[in-house]
Chains A and B, each alone.
Chain A
Amino acid sequence: MDPLIHAQGLTKKFGDFTAVDGIDFAVQPGEAFGFLGPNGAGKSSTMRMIGCVSPPSGGSLRILGLDPVQDGAKIRARLGVVPQEDTLDMELTVHENLFVYGRYFGLSRKEVRERAKELLEFVQLSERASSKVQSLSGGMKRRLTIARALVNEPDVLLLDEPTTGLDPQARHLVWDRLFRLKQRGATLVLTTHYMDEAEQLCDRLVIMNNGKIAEEGHPLDLIRRLSTREVVELRFGGEPPQVEQETFNGQVARVETLPDRVLLYTDDGDALVPIAHERLHPQSVLVRRSTLEDVFLRLTGRTLID
């Protein structure tokens, strides 16, 4: 099957600054594809190029088999976009926002009314249809933005940091809706700096750092390949001491020292706990599974959220 989105050597420059530095990726129909990385990694610039609102500075990009510079309007007609910042009209009602957006796509009044009704049900906002957007919570606004992005029945849904700034409960509601879309076979492309979001939603992801792709794969594969099964986190109530790998007799694959804690990468965390207590006297010890955060740390030496 031909990929829906195909980039080769894709580059975006703003003056002297290179935001996206020659990346290659392909998104297949029906998959949920993620760009994971810290702020400033080049995720949003990539998304804006895919959304045909920002012309690439170099490389090639094909979306739905078309060229975004030549056929931007034609491509955008088949995309659904959830931007990082809400672009809802606060003065208009929930329904009016959906209505006017559907009309941008050339839907008839009747069509757009029917779809608005279905979509508001889908994002659980039917009861708020005639409320001004101003009065909605952050999570409701996000859900409305998602409904709006679906109004043209898009071939690809682009989500730029869909849950940034939401409280945990609101995030779960958004994830739940996105998960349903995934089950229906929708193609999702999303950026995030939350590893749990990437793990939950993405079939495949690329890890971006400084405008480049550092790794690519299924979230669990990446963890398996690039980290150990478990991690022991040691906190010292102050600056952590220098910890040597040798202290643990070959049971630790890697040690990472962060400003506030020390991470020991191992396949059996519990076995390390008594040794750690005895030799390093930490204030607290936590054993957990490896996550994408650990993969990211390994690849870039940085944490995702500073």
Chain B
Amino acid sequence: MSYALRSYEYWLIVYRRIFKGTIASSILNPLLYLTAMGVGLGKVVNNGAHPLGVPYLDFVAPGLLAAVAMQVSTIESAFPVRGAVLWSKSYYAMLATPLRILDMLFGHLLYVATRAAMVTSVYLLIILFFGVLHSPLALLTIPIGVLLGLSFAGWVSALAIQAENDPFNPLFRFVIMPMFLFSGTFFPITRLPHGLRELAYATPLWNAVDFDRACTLGTLTLSRGLLHVAYFLVVISGGVVVAHRAYRKKLIK
């Protein structure tokens, strides 16, 4: 593990250079979304009553909280990993040192976990001021953000490292964007027709949205929480295996 920390340090040093650029967007982004969706759209949705059982802002805030961890983790697994092979070639630099493929992979996963935790924490702090956190369980949304981020990290890294042509436009257009819209972020997936509803249950984002929402509203049950954690562990393990294979195939010739 200590070897993985060495490659983790590389990603932190790279991040230090772009830190200022990301901090503004990670504060502005939630402010804009919460104001538009929660406060603006919420007026229309609530319409004097609470058709979702809670004010719309309380409903949508944990959804956005999960979605931002997904977006940041996907981006951090996409371009940096592809760059480490194609542009900066920093993976080839690491390969000439005692670091092994698995150390390189775990170092990057640790970095994605860090970014997911950071962005979730900032978001959480901001929605705290919107008064939508109804339970101290809301703190659990930080590790949930990490689990969600890691669920994407392995799979996206594998894609980033082995795709011939730029794979990210289709990824964002046909996977991330639909998931963002239809995984219970903005409306309950029980409103989706059969088929799509089951598909939504299978997405990492729905699992995180549902988990987060139960935490911020204070309605979490142990069995539900464990089920979500088990789901994430399966998806993460699959991603690690696939990414390890892709790294080996690309880097060892």
Contacts and interface: CB of A to CB of B under 8 A. Distances in A.
A101 B98 contact: no
A51 B95 CA distance: 9
Contacts of A54: 252-253
Contact of A53 (B2, B89, B96): B96
A100 B9 contact: yes
Q: Which of A48, A91, A104 has the most CB of B within 10 A?
A: A104
B97 interface: yes
A73 B102 CA distance: 12
B92 A92 contact: no
A83 B89 CA distance: 11
A303 B88 CA distance: 34
A91 B97 CA distance: 20
Interface in B67-107: 88-90, 92-100
Contact of A76 (B2, B88, B97): B97
Contacts of A76: 96-98
Contacts, number: 71
A100 B253 CA distance: 25
Given A92-B13, A104-B98, A87 B252 contact: no
A103 B96 contact: no
Chain B interface, DSSP helix/strand/loop, else mixed: helix
Q: Which of A51, A77, A92 has the most CB of B within 10 A?
A: A92
A79 interface: yes
A88 B87 CA distance: 10
A91 B99 contact: no
A83 B92 contact: yes
Contacts of B97: 76-77, 101, 104-105, 152
B194 interface: no
A155 to B, nearest CB: 14
Given A53-B96, A89-B93, A101-B93, 16 more contacts: A53-B251, A74-B98, A76-B98, A77-B97, A85-B92, A86-B89, A87-B88, A87-B90, A92-B13, A92-B14, A100-B10, A100-B13, A103-B6, A103-B10, A105-B98, A152-B97
7 contacts: A14-B253, A54-B253, A76-B97, A76-B98, A87-B89, A89-B93, A104-B93
